[in-house]
Chain A
Amino acid sequence: MKAIKEKHSVAMRWAHWINFPVLLIMIWSGMLIYWANDEYTITIFGHTFFHFFPDPFYKFFNVPQRLAEGMAFHFFFMWFFAINGLLYFLYTIFSGEWRQLVPHRHSFKEAWHVLLHDLHIRKMLPPQDKYNAAQRIAYTSIIMMGFGSLVTGLAIYKPVQFYWVTWICGGYHLARVEHFILTVGYVLFFLIHITQVIIAGWNNFRSVVSGFEIIQDQPAANIKTADDEKSI
């Protein structure tokens, strides 16, 4: 017999794995659209350090001259992205899972300790719970970023009919910049996420497919108090 802990609900696992390919398609088709007016750079004091994106990058991903195709894909898959995200959001609210997800008042201090630990600077790890403080911040942010993409996306897509959404975003230009930055954010999130998943190992990865985690190295007495939900 093995001690196991139910970690991820079926709803969370489906939402997670549906979102992954859909977001990938959204980023790719967004790139086909962005190419038609690729005006963003990182410029400081008149010196351009980086242009989004260099020609070899476009060539590698076969981006040029596909604006219409990009728009067609983007405006189809946007529905899947929105509906999947919305269902997941509603699920976390109604199931109460948001309590394990939203940062609490110690999270920011703890997240710093998690970071120091991960960088091998600090030995002690703050309470891990289902999600540790750094994860709480990261996963809550990514949900908010999803909302941000929907809102800024709508602001760009229908700036006349939803002029107030465009206004909230700070206008058409800013909405476009925000939409772009959020996308860059997803890519950065993805890179860190993948690294962490690899480091965390198979037991953790399996829990996002099968739902449970096997507890092997913890003495039984600890398991009972491991559920520190009540102490929050």
Chain B
Amino acid sequence: MMKNLFSNNRETKLASQKQLNRRNFISFSVFGGVGALLYGGWRWLYQSPEETPGTTGGAHKLLRRALNQNELVFKNTLSNNHLVQTYPKSMAAKSVRVNSKIGMEDDDFDGSKWSLQVNRRNGTSLKLNLEDLKALPKTEIVFDFKCVEGWDQISHWGGVKFSDFIDHYHLREEAKLQYVGLATPDEGYYVGLDMLSALHPQTLLAYEVNDEPLPLDHGFPLRLIIPVKYGIKNLKRIGSISFSDQRPPDYWAEQGYDYFSGL
């Protein structure tokens, strides 16, 4: 076998019909056998049960494991030095695409009564309003927003760098945990982020788009802009932020999508 594997021998030789029959029999048996095995394997995978619904759900068990393993591989390339490409403001879309209103479906939402709840490690929580956040240094970014569906759009956002927010409110102890969880006030939409991505220097708690306060559709008064993730992680209308060593619940990961969803 090994000799054959690396043989580049194309000489002509003589073989008896018996020898040829034998070779054909072995080759075609292996061909058919392995083919049947692969087909069986495929059928098994395709019909295999979905994972038990939990933090993630909706994917075949084996495929979920593969997604999680991929995360371990590609987490290694995550670095604060790997910045998302930025563009001049003039290239930013004037009309920014609205793709979803999940978690923002109640029409009687009153932005003036909104506050951000930050759950600390010791069980206490902070209540912040928009003015508190606006008092912090403002960071702007013009980048190519990428949706898991495949479209992308260059857009311009302004707000507080997430890492600045962590420093200012003395949340460094919390930031030592592995995950951040964010949810809308009605908890209809929620995402989980690995801490490394959350602390990436381009992650913003955004309150402006195109130099204007966020419209309701874009998550007024405060939304997440996390350029190292697909759009599904860029939660609008943040109601609460919490920290954990376990993966926080994630709306789309429960429906078959990759939990990491990093770019």
Task: Check A75–B67 contact: CB distance below 8 A.
Answer: yes
- A9 with B66, Cβ < 8 A, contacts A2-B17, A34-B150 known: no
Task: Check A163–B82 contact: CB distance below 8 A.
Answer: yes
Beyond known contacts A37-B147, A211-B23: 18 more, CB 8 A cutoff = A3-B14, A4-B13, A5-B13, A6-B10, A36-B148, A36-B150, A68-B59, A68-B252, A79-B66, A95-B6, A130-B10, A160-B262, A161-B78, A163-B84, A172-B146, A172-B152, A176-B150, A214-B20
- A161 with B7, Cβ < 8 A, contacts A4-B13, A69-B256, A209-B31 known: no
B233 within 8 A of A: no
Task: Check B149–A6 contact: CB distance below 8 A.
Answer: no
Please name the residue on chain A nearest to B257 by beta carbon.
A68
Interface-side segment among A115-123, A139-147, A222-230: A222-230
Chain B residues whose CB sits within 8 angstroms of the CB of A211 once the complex forms = 4, 23, 27
Task: Check B15–A2 contact: CB distance below 8 A.
Answer: yes
A11 within 8 A of B: yes
Chain B residues whose CB sits within 8 angstroms of the CB of A79 once the complex forms = 66
Instruction: Give the contacts of B1-23 with A (CB-CB under 8 A).
Output: 1, 4-17, 20, 23
Chain A residues whose CB sits within 8 angstroms of the CB of B10 once the complex forms = 5-7, 130, 227, 229
**Interface residues of A, dominant DSSP:** helix
B151 within 8 A of A: yes
A187 within 8 A of B: no
Task: Check B24–A210 contact: CB distance below 8 A.
Answer: yes
Chain B residues whose CB sits within 8 angstroms of the CB of A36 once the complex forms = 148-150
For A152-181 the 0/1 string (1 means CB < 8 A from B) is 000000111111000000001100100000
B174 within 8 A of A: no
Bound Cα distance A97, B9 (Å) = 10
Bound Cα distance A159, B144 (Å) = 10
Task: Check B11–A9 contact: CB distance below 8 A.
Answer: no
14 pairs across A/B with beta carbons < 8 Å? Answer: A2-B14, A4-B12, A5-B13, A10-B1, A17-B34, A17-B35, A21-B42, A34-B150, A72-B59, A73-B63, A75-B67, A160-B82, A211-B4, A215-B12
Instruction: Give the contacts of B134-160 with A (CB-CB under 8 A).
Output: 144, 146-152
Task: Check B59–A172 contact: CB distance below 8 A.
Answer: no
Chain B residues whose CB sits within 8 angstroms of the CB of A5 once the complex forms = 10-13
B interface with A by C-beta (< 8 Å): 1, 4-17, 20, 23-24, 27-28, 31, 34-35, 38, 42, 58-60, 62-64, 66-67, 70, 74, 77-78, 82-85, 144, 146-152, 227-228, 252, 255-258, 262-263
A57 within 8 A of B: no
A212 within 8 A of B: yes
A71 within 8 A of B: yes
For A188-229 the 0/1 string (1 means CB < 8 A from B) is 000000000000000000100111101100000001101101
Chain B residues whose CB sits within 8 angstroms of the CB of A4 once the complex forms = 12-15, 20
Max count, chain A CB within 10 A of own CB: residue among B9, B27, B148: B27
Bound Cα distance A73, B70 (Å) = 12
Chain A residues whose CB sits within 8 angstroms of the CB of B66 once the complex forms = 72, 75-76, 79
A50 within 8 A of B: no
Chain B residues whose CB sits within 8 angstroms of the CB of A69 once the complex forms = 59, 256
Task: Check A159–B263 contact: CB distance below 8 A.
Answer: yes
Bound Cα distance A11, B62 (Å) = 28
How many whole Å from A36's CB to the nearest CB in chain B?
A: 4
A33 within 8 A of B: yes
Task: Check A6–B7 contact: CB distance below 8 A.
Answer: yes
A54 within 8 A of B: no
A94 within 8 A of B: yes
Chain A residues whose CB sits within 8 angstroms of the CB of B1 once the complex forms = 10
- A21 with B262, Cβ < 8 A, contacts A9-B4, A37-B151 known: no
Task: Check B150–A37 contact: CB distance below 8 A.
Answer: yes
A102 within 8 A of B: no
Bound Cα distance A176, B152 (Å) = 11
Chain B residues whose CB sits within 8 angstroms of the CB of A34 once the complex forms = 150
With beta carbons under 8 angstroms apart, the residue of A97, A173, A176, A209 that contacts B8 is: A97
Please name the residue on chain A nearest to B63 by beta carbon.
A72
Please name the residue on chain B nearest to A11 by beta carbon.
B5
Please name the residue on chain A nearest to B149 by beta carbon.
A36
A55 within 8 A of B: no
